[in-house]
Amino acid sequence: MEGVDRVWSTAHKAPIWGYSILSTALVFPFAGEPLYPLALCPHLPERMASSPKEAKTPQEMATDTVLNLLEMGYRPLAVVGDGQVVRSTFARTLRLQGQAFVGRLGKKTRVVWGGRTWRAGDLLQTYPPGKARYYRALGVYAKRLSGVFWPTVGKVDLVLVWRARGEAWEGWVLVSTFGDGVQGVLRVWSARWELEVAHRVYKQGLGLGECRVRSFEGQMGHWELVVEAYHRVRKVVVANPGMPFRMAKAVALQGSLADRGLADAIPTGFPGPSPPRKRLQKGGGNRG
């Protein structure tokens, strides 16, 4: 997720390079439960690496998160990640842990299939929509290649996916060790879009980008508050299925204030719908 373009450095007394954010969460695509956010972690460039945070690649950060989950006894159905995360080191670590994964593979990644070394993007062009199967329920053309060898990782499956985008075609390559059919892999992959929905909530509903603190440590504290706020709203949604997020946020806020003895700090109840606006005639009179 896009982070902050610039951050104030107390050491340099000036703005320095910004950073991106690695967002991780538990998603329950088959249970219908709301997403459970885990953490927002900064992806620091080298020039920002300093105590207490050292620069890590996105795959190193994602690997740490998955290993922590496994150590706590959680065993996800599959780990899903985008191309920035699913690199050979990340995939090899998950394979050694016996953890299935589905991710987008970079088009320049080299794999071995049919006795030849290919770039993933070249394989994608070899099987355009006309040579793939159409999955009506998912709205995509897809072709599965089994027994592909990814150096340092081992044998994996590739799923070549095409989707119409206006008058053109958009294609991508999924790498998978998830033991299910093409539709199963595609449904697992689609679970990542729930995280994109959560990002919109973080930014528009919970003020992720509204932090006025310029220090890096202050912004990290703000992220933790955003994740905690999401958890509180999530509890309200779980207890009241179908409740709109805006209303759930208000209920969660009232509960938080009540816990601190500040229940009267905001009005109780929820506003009704706005009255219909009257249409005006040319001279300003009401038309009803």
pLDDT band at 133 (very low <50, low <70, confident <90, very high): very high
Cβ count near 140 (within 10 Å): 22
Would you say residue 265 has pLDDT above 50?
A: no
Lowest mean pLDDT among 31-45, 243-257, 268-282: 268-282
- Give the number of C-alpha atoms closer than 13 A to the C-alpha of residue 182, restricted to the C-beta side: 20
Q: What is the mean pLDDT of residues 22-27?
A: 89
Q: What is the mean pLDDT of residues 179-202?
A: 88
Q: What is the pLDDT of residue 53?
A: 59
pLDDT tens sequence across 235-262: 988 888 888 888 888 888 877 666 655 4
pLDDT tens sequence across 147-187: 999 999 999 999 999 999 888 999 999 999 998 789 999 98
Q: What is the pLDDT of residue 176?
A: 95
Q: What is the pLDDT of residue 270?
A: 45
53 bridge partner residues: 50
Tokens of 253: 């806020």
Q: Is 105 exposed, middle or buried (0-12, 13-18, 19+ CB in 10 A)?
A: buried
Would you say residue 79 has pLDDT above 90?
A: yes
**Of all residues in the chain, what percent carry a pLDDT higher than 70?**
79
Would you say residue 264 has pLDDT above 60?
A: no
Helix (H) or strand (E) holding 186: helix 182-190
Tokens of 280: 């005006």
Query: Would you say the pTM of this structure is higher than 0.85?
Result: no
Q: What is the pLDDT of residue 174?
A: 96
* Residues 124 and 173: beta-carbon distance below 8 Å: yes
Q: What is the pLDDT of residue 4?
A: 59
Q: Is 101 exposed, middle or buried (0-12, 13-18, 19+ CB in 10 A)?
A: buried
pLDDT band at 282 (very low <50, low <70, confident <90, very high): low
Q: Hunting for tokens 């998955």 — which residue is that? A: 66
pLDDT tens sequence across 87-115: 999 999 999 999 999 999 999 999 999 99
Q: What is the pLDDT of residue 274?
A: 47
Mean pLDDT of the chain: 82
**Of all residues in the chain, what percent carry a pLDDT higher than 90?**
36
- Give the number of C-alpha atoms closer than 13 A to the C-alpha of residue 192, restricted to the C-beta side: 18
Would you say residue 46 has pLDDT above 80?
A: no
Q: What is the pLDDT of residue 207?
A: 83
* Residues 157 and 164: beta-carbon distance below 8 Å: no
Parse the chain into domains and list their residue ranges: 82-189, 207-265
Would you say residue 272 has pLDDT above 50?
A: no
Q: What is the pLDDT of residue 7?
A: 63
